[in-house]
Amino acid sequence: VTGASTGIGYATVRRLAAGGWKVWGGVRSSSDSLQIERLDGVSSLRIDVTDDEQTKTAFGEVADSRGRLGLDLLVVNAGVLVGGPLEYVTPEEWRRQFDVNVVGVASSIRCALPMLRLSNDPRIVVVGSINSRVGVPLLSPYAASKHALVGLLSSLRRELGPTGPRVTLIEPGAVQTPLW
C-alpha cells in the first residue's frame, strides 16, 4: 500500500492487516514507519514514489521477503493535491502533481508487476478521485492528474489482458483526510 501513513492509505493498511493479510505500508518518513509498524502484520517500506531507485528498492524488499509466493494485491494510494487559480500554479507545481499522482503510480505498478504475476489471483487497486470525472474550481492540476489515471489504467487493462492482474480504479469523493 503506497501512501500508507495517513487517510485512505492508513485505513487500508489497518483493514487488510485486521483481515489477516501480510501488509507492507509505503511511507516517506521514519516517524510514519514507526506508526504503521505498531499494527500487527504490517511492515513499513520507505518509499517516495517520485524516486525511481527508492521505488525499485522498496519493491525489491517485498520480493525478497515473498520469494516465489509473489504479491496478491497492490494498492497504489500515494498522492498529493496541488490547487489554486490556474494562472498562479507554477510549472514546478504541475510537475510535482503529475510526478506523484501519475508517474509514481506507473512506477509502482511497473515495479510490482513481476511479483503480481506469481500470484494466482493478482489485483491492482489505484486510488483516484471523483475529480477525474467532475471538474472543481481551483483544482485543475489535481483533476488533470487524476483524469490521467483513467487513461493509464484503461490502457493497462488491455495491455495485461485476461491473464494479467485485475486492475481497479477507485474514485472516492472528498474524504476527511490530511490531503483535504
Query: Which residue numbers are catalytic?
Result: 142
Asked if 70 and 123 count as a contact pair (C-beta separation under 8 A), the reply is no
Asked if 38 and 55 count as a contact pair (C-beta separation under 8 A), the reply is no
DSSP-derived letter for residue 84 is S
**Residue 74: how many CA atoms within 13 Å on its side-chain side?**
29
Tracing cell 514507519 back to the chain, one arrives at: 33
Asked if 107 and 46 count as a contact pair (C-beta separation under 8 A), the reply is no
In DSSP notation, 126-142 reads EE--GGGTS--TT-HHH
| C-alpha cell belonging to residue 164 | 494479467
DSSP-derived letter for residue 125 is E
